[in-house]
Amino acid sequence: MLALGSSKLAIIGLGYVGLPLAVEFGKKIETIGFDISKARVEELKQGKDSTLEIDPEDLNSSKKLSFTCDIQEIKSCNVYIVTVPTPIDDYRNPDLKPLRSASKMLGQVVSKGDVVIYESTVYPGCTEEACLPIIEEVSGLTYNQDFYAGYSPERINPGDKEHRVNNIVKVTSGSTPEITDFVDELYRQVVTVGTHKASSIKVAEAAKVIENTQRDVNIALVNELALIFNRLNIDTEEVLLAAGSKWNFLPFRPGLVGGHCISVDPYYLTHKAQEIGYHPEVILSGRRINDNMGAYVADSVIKLMTQKKIHVVDSKILIMGLTFKENCPDLRNTRVVDIIEELNKYHASIDIYDPWADNEEAVHEYGISLIESPNQNDYDAVILCVGHKKFIEMGAEQIRNLGKDNSVLYDVKYALPKDKVDGRL
C-alpha cells in the first residue's frame, strides 16, 4: 500500500483548477505540474500565471513544485491527479475527449501500486466506466489490483481570492476503503478546513454535479420570475429584496449563466439520467430558461431603443464586459456572446470593452475583437453585462456619459441604481 510519506504527485492540467492545487501541494509534497501546452508551462516556469489565479510570490513559495510538458518526467510519480476540462459539445452532450486523452496518457506512465485521482466534473459512474478502462487497456494493469483510483471533485471558484484550495471543504473518495483513507489523508495535507469522506467514487461524482445543478435551477427560477415581473411592470429586485426579508429566502438574482461549471455540469447529469431511461424535466427546463436570457436582454435593449426612437440598424452599441463573471479573465462559455449574436441580427455596430479579458483569446474563441477603451458620447446604447469592480467604480453617471444624449443604459448585473438606468433584468 502506498504510504503518504513516499508520495510524489503529478497534477495533470494546469488551468484554473490544476494550478492552485499544484501550488498548495508543492508546499508540502514533491509535485510536478504537467500540461500539454508548452506555452503554459513556460510562463509558469517564469513565475507568471495568465489566469491571474496565482500571484508570482505564491508560485515561488511552492519549493517542491516543478512544471513540465514532457510525459517522461512524470513517470517517477506514484499519485496522479487529473484536472482537465470537461466541456459539452455543440449538441450539449458531455465532451469527454480531454478526459479520455488524459487517461490514455496516464496508461503510459502508471505503475503497479499507483493511485489515479480525478477532479474533473463528470456524471456519476464516469470515472469507473469511461476513464479507468482506458488506463487498464493502455497499461495492461488491472484496476483495484495493480493500480487504484480516487475521486475528489474540484471546488475552485475563478477570481475568488477568499475561497481557496486550502479553505474549501474537500469531498474525497477512493476505490477501496484503504484508498479512500489514503486520498482523504492526502488532501488533508493542504485543506486546512477538513474533508468530507464519501462512501464511493459514484457518490462523490454525484455530489459535485448537483452542486452547480442546484445553483442553475435556482437562478433559472429567478430569471423566470424576472420575465414575469417585467411583463407586469414590477421591479424584480424590489420583489426579491422584499421576499428576502424572510430568514429562509435564498438570495439569488437574475442574470446570465455561463462559465465552465454552472451552465455545463447539469448537462452531464441529464445525459446520464436519459441514458438510464429518465427524462429530467426540472433541470432541463431550467437550462432552457438560462440559455435564453442573452436573447431576452438583447430584445429588451432593442425595445428601449425603439421607444426612444433610436434607429437600431447601423446604431452603435457598447457591451461592457465579456468574461463569464466579474473580476476574472475567464472567457469560457460566457453567455455575453448570446447578447452580441442577437444584436448582430439588427446590423448594429458593436464595441466590446473588457479590461479583464485577453483580446487574443476573445478572437480565438469567439471571433470577437475588444476595444482598448470606449469613447465619450459615442453610443446609442450601453449594456453593462459584467459587474467588474472597475465598472462599478465608474458609477452610473460616468457610464451614462459613454452614450449619446438620448442613449439607452441597460444594467444586466443590478450594479447601478435603479433610477439611473433605463432598464435591467
**What pTM does this model have?**
0.92
DSSP category for residue 129: I
Q: What is the rounded CA–CA span in Å between residue 335 and residue 358? A: 16
Active-site positions read 261
The Cα–Cα gap between 393 and 267 comes to 36
Asked whether the predicted pLDDT for residue 26 surpasses 80, the reply is: yes
Q: Is the pLDDT of residue 232 over 80?
A: yes
Cα separation, 180 vs 185, in Å, equals: 9
225 vs 259, which has greater pLDDT? 225
Q: What is the pLDDT of residues 314-333, one digit of tens each?
A: 999 999 999 999 999 999 99
Question: Which backbone phi and psi does 250 adopt, to 5 degrees?
Answer: -80, 130
Three-state DSSP at 115 gives: strand
Q: What is the pLDDT of residue 1?
A: 61
% of the chain residues with pLDDT over 70: 99
Pick from 164, 217, 347, 67: nearest CA to 225: 217
Looking at residue 218, what is its pLDDT?
Answer: 97
Mean pLDDT of 3-8: 80
Mean pLDDT of 20-45: 96
Burial class (CB in 10 A: 0-12, 13-18, 19+), 372: exposed
Q: Hey, which residues does 116 pair with through a beta bridge? A: 80, 149
DSSP state of 127: I
